[in-house]
Amino acid sequence: MARQSIPTTYRTRLATLRKKFDDARVDALLDLVLTALLHSKGLIVELNPLMRPLLERSEWLFALVKSLTILITYAVLVWYSRRNLVFVRQASAVGAVAYVLIWSVWFVSVP
C-alpha cells in the first residue's frame, strides 16, 4: 500500500512549528546556562520552587534536569505534532501564556 503524501500546506505548517520549537529550545538552553552561571556567582536566586532545590544542591544537577526536561518536551511536542498539529499549537500557546503569568507572579511576589 502506498504511503499518502502530506499536503504541502501541512508540511509548511509543521516546518514553521518546528522552527518555533527550535527557537524556544534555544531560549530555554540560554536560560539554563545563564541561570547556572549567575547562580554560581551568587548574583541570582532561582524563583521556580521546583528547580530551586536542584540549583542549590548543584548547578550541574540543575543543568542536567533542566536540559532533560527541555529535550523530552521538545521530542514529545514534535512527535505529537505529526498526529495533532492543532492541539500542539494550542497547548504550546496556553503553556507559554501560563509560563509568563506564573513567572510574573513569582517575580513580583519575591521581596
User: For 24-59, what is each residue's pLDDT tens digit?
Assistant: 777 888 888 999 999 999 998 887 888 999 999 999
Q: What is the pLDDT of residue 41?
A: 94
Report how far residue 96's alpha carbon sits from residue 90's, in angstroms, rounded to the nearest whole number: 10
pLDDT tens-digit series, residues 63-76: 999 999 988 988 89
pTM: 0.68
Alpha helices in the chain (DSSP H): 8-40, 52-57, 59-81, 85-109
- How would you label 61-74 residue by residue, b for 16+ Cβ within 10 Å and e otherwise? ebbeebeeebeebb
Contact between 74 and 21 (Cβ < 8 Å)? yes
Contact 14, 85 (CB under 8 A): yes
